[in-house]
Structure 1
Amino acid sequence: MVTDPDRPVVLFALEWCEFCWSVRKLFAAAGIEYRSVDLDSVAYQKDDLGGDLRAALLERLGVPTIPQIFVGGRHLGGATETFDAFNDGSLKALLTEHGVAFDPEMKKNAYSFLPNWLHPR
């Protein structure tokens, strides 16, 4: 799932998760195409495939949180790491390295996509 060169950006998410939606909003604003693997969606409920994938992510990464983002097979991290990488330019460099188009003019602080109930960082 994370090494498909035609879809190098992969978001492991939960449909109801506000942090996942924050990353989705950032990606939409920046024009970043991605594959979303919604672990709690109907498509991943059969035989608990979503649960199995989540367990595999925990085993591989050592972190239990969702979302988890990969670019070109490389683990970027969760929402915080993705926002930091966008803000410091390292995500843009990684996207460029893997031929992923994005809007270079989008300069908005990635943390502005977090839910309003969170305290600002």
Structure 2
Amino acid sequence: MSTPGIRFDVSSAPAAVAPTAPAKPEAIAYVERIVSEKSVVVFALEWCEFCWSVRKMFAEAGIEYESVDLDSTAYQKDNLGADIRAALRDTTGSLTIPQIFVGGQHIGGATETFDAFNDGSLKQRLDANGVIFNQAMKENAYSFLPKWLHPR
């Protein structure tokens, strides 16, 4: 017996399409407020390995951050997590999670954050915003990605 959806002789169902409804003003205001109040904000999903990778790198570098876990129980009421995700999509132009902000400025997702760490621009932005971290950390940020990924 084969696993449905993993067969070569049968067409799979079309992929789900991301919602296109405009973000709610309250959700946009929430995103704007939290990124202006906190030095480093990570909009994440609790189960996401790319979010875990950013968290591991931040932990290794001693970077304190506010985590907004969109799939957590705290954001399930009234579909708040999905509303915030739509606000992120509308404000950043990106559908992916995580999305990272430093000093109110959007850095990007996991790979953009790793690139910024590796090229030193993230460290400069952290310094400029008074974020204390281990400046001696020299590891390649991509080393924090899941090991099942192909090398970059």
| 1:1-121 paired onto structure 2 within 5 Å | 1-4=34-37, 7-121=38-152
d(CA) in 2 for partners of 1:53 and 1:72? Answer: 19
d(CA) in 1 for partners of 2:112 and 2:77?
31
CA–CA separation in structure 2 for the residues paired with 1:103 and 1:109: 14
Larger radius of gyration: 2
Structure 2 gaps of 5+ residues are 1-33
Identity of aligned residues (%): 73
Q: Structure 2 CA distance, aligned partners of 1:84 and 1:62?
A: 19
* Residues 68-103 of structure 1 deviation map (CA, whole Å, 9 limit, x = unaligned): 000011000000000000000000000000000010
The answer to which structure, 1 or 2, has the higher relative contact order (CA under 8 A, 6+ apart) is 1
Q: 2:61 and 2:103 mapped to 1: Cα distance?
A: 18
TM-score w.r.t. length of structure 2: 0.78
After superposition, the C-alpha distances for 1:31-81 in whole angstroms (9 at most, x for unaligned) are 000000000000000001000000011111111000000001100000000
What RMSD in Å do the two structures reach over aligned CA positions? 0.5
Residues matched between the structures, number: 119
Structure 2 counterpart SS, 1:70: strand
Using the size of structure 1 for normalisation, the TM-score is 0.97
Which structure 1 residue ranges, 5 or more long, are not aligned?
none
